[in-house]
Structure 1
Amino acid sequence: MSKSPITTNPDWLHNAHAGEMLWLEFMEPLGMTAADLAAAIGLSVERVQTVIDGDRPMDGELDLRLARYFRMSEGFFLGLQIDYELLEAKRALNGELDRIVPRAA
């Protein structure tokens, strides 16, 4: 057995969109449909479904509605979206960041 630590490159991991997390962690366990959630938070089914499908980003208004409904902290769902976007941007840069030399203090 090797004693070397196992490292996982974050670029290899699945990057879950905020809508996917909304579905997997909140809606699916409660047996909720997009129509159920949309009705509960006062939005159209299409708007909710496009976020769940990852075709539209989470925005501030939706975050506030979801935070109120699920009794979460405001900004929780936006944080998931930001994490998703940062990893996607890092992947798109494809190592280009490594060529930037940090400015000395």
Structure 2
Amino acid sequence: MSKSSTTTDTSDWLHIPHAGEMLVSEFMEPLKLDTPALAQAIAVDPVRLQAMIDGKTRIDGELDLRLSRYFRMSEGFFLRLQTSAELRTAKRALNGELERIQPRAA
């Protein structure tokens, strides 16, 4: 019996977009907004906004509130996008390890 770890070919898995990618594709591109214009509209440093768009920094509560207000979304919308992407990425990285954890009996 082999004791080698199971590997999964991930080449066919779909890309999991982070909050910054979703901001660009679902909001900025359709409205033809560039980073400097959006940054000015929500009163944040364009460098900070670009770092979030590029996935170099996480979105925080303040930035979420500004973006949510500007785009008329519910507070926490962009934070939920980020959390969802992070959870899906983590689950994918665990590669089946969660199934080996037995839930604690009540």
Same fold (TM over 0.5): yes
What RMSD in Å do the two structures reach over aligned CA positions? 1.3
Residue 9 of structure 2 corresponds to which residue in structure 1? Answer: none
Is 2:52 aligned against 1:60? no
Moved over 3 A (4+): none
What TM-score does the superposition give when structure 2 sets the normalisation length? 0.84
CA distance in 2, matches of 1:22, 1:61: 15
Residue 36 of structure 1 corresponds to which residue in structure 2? Answer: 37
Aligned pairs (5 A) from 1:1-105:
12-105=13-106
- 1:51-89 Cα offsets, whole Å, 9 max, x none, are 111111111111000011111100111000000110111
Count of residue pairs brought into register by the alignment: 95
Structure 1 portions without partners, runs of 5+? 1-10
Identity %: 66
Structure 2 portions without partners, runs of 5+? 1-11
Report the CA distance between 1:38 and its aligned residue: 0.4
Report the CA distance between 1:30 and its aligned residue: 0.6
